[in-house]
């Protein structure tokens, strides 16, 4: 497959252009030539030196990540930024990034993956950001206690051996769940307004403790990395179906 076709197909599936005004990440092809053949695609959560080096070792033509290198552009390509970009260019390895588009995709996205783990039904978009959504909400097929919900996530997510934590201020039985992966406690008010019993996210902020306590809602902190492996793995399955060779680079941070 030619690189422009590969990029176009992913952009269309992920609706990359629709998130251009709400995402600081430069989504789509961040680094790469105008043309070239794509036979092997590597996937990882983070676009960092280690994932780049391992993609080079795997002889990949493209590295697809959730977190890329360009956030509101580059002022200077020096230091750590240079060290990450240089091997991409040196080894003719393209970098394709999908940040919020991959969070919000209702089938392939990170929140959708967490919803599947929890067995949520009647799922709908959640986590408004401008005209788009970056999460999902749904109803548990069978109610959870907070300990059961945390244990389910801890068993199924790549937490790097770290426990799933909770701010356990909600009801004894959890039926309605909202999900914003990564750093999602800014959507706590939306979760309260939606009447859910728990908000599942990756990492928290200090203010979320008292906000959750005062609102009577659970907040589950399952790890930023751990909640954001689903999207790139789903994209890997999609690209597999296109007949390309793929590989996954797993580097859990425990955070």
Could you give the residue range(s) of every CATH 3.40.1390.30 domain in the chain? 3-98, 103-224
Q: Is 57 annotated as a binding residue?
A: no
Burial, 245: exposed, middle or buried (Cβ in 10 Å; 0-12, 13-18, 19+)?
middle
**Which pLDDT band, with edges at 50, 70 and 90, does 137 fall under?**
very high
Amino acid 201: pLDDT: 98
67 is in an annotated binding site: yes
Return the CATH number of the domain spanning residue range 3-98.
3.40.1390.30
CB atoms within 10 A of CB 199: 32
Helix axes 146-156, 110-118, angle to 10 degrees: 120
pLDDT at residue 27, as a whole number: 98
Instruction: Determine the average pLDDT of the residues in 85-113.
Output: 97
The CATH fold of domain 103-224 = 3.40.1390
Percent of the chain with pLDDT over 70: 100
Phi, then psi, of 159 in degrees rounded to 5 = -85, 0
Taking 90 as the threshold, does the pLDDT of residue 138 lie above it? yes
pLDDT digit string (tens) for 214-251? 999 999 999 999 999 999 999 999 999 999 999 999 99
The answer to whether 210 is annotated as binding is no
Which pLDDT belongs to residue 228? 98
- The answer to whether 133 is annotated as binding is no
| Per-residue model confidence as pLDDT tens digits over 188-202 | 999 999 999 999 999
Three-state DSSP class for 121? strand
Mean pLDDT value across residues 172-184: 98
103 annotated ligand-binding residue? yes
Kindly report the backbone phi and psi dihedral angles of residue 235, in degrees, each rounded to the nearest multiple of 5, phi listed first. -65, -35
- DSSP-based three-state secondary structure for 76: coil
pLDDT higher than 90, residue 74: no
């Amino acid at each position: 497959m030619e690189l422009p076709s590969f990029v176009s197909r992913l952009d269309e599936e992920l609706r990359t252009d629709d998130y251009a005004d709400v995402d600081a990440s430069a989504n789509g092809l961040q680094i790469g030539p105008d043309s070239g053949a794509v036979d092997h695609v590597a996937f990882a959560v983070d676009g960092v030196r280690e994932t780049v080096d391992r993609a080079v070792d795997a002889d990949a033509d493209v590295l697809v990540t959730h977190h890329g290198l360009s956030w509101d552009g580059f002022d200077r390509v020096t230091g750590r930024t240079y060290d990450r970009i240089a091997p991409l260019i040196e080894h003719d390895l393209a970098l394709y990034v999908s940040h919020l588009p991959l969070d919000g995709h209702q089938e392939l996205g990170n929140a959708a993956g967490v919803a599947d783990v929890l067995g949520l039904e009647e799922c709908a978009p959640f986590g408004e950001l401008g005209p788009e959504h970056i999460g999902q909400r749904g109803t548990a097929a069978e109610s959870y206690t907070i300990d059961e919900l945390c244990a389910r996530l801890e068993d199924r997510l790549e937490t790097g051996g770290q426990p799933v934590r909770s701010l356990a201020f909600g009801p004894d039985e959890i039926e309605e769940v909202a999900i914003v992966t990564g750093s999602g406690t800014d959507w706590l008010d939306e979760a309260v307004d939606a009447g859910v019993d728990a908000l599942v996210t990756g990492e928290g902020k200090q203010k979320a403790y008292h906000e959750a306590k005062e609102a009577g809602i659970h907040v589950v902190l399952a790890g930023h990395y751990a909640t954001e492996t689903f999207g790139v793995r789903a994209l890997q399955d999609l690209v597999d179906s296109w007949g390309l060779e793929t590989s996954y680079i797993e580097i859990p941070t425990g955070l």
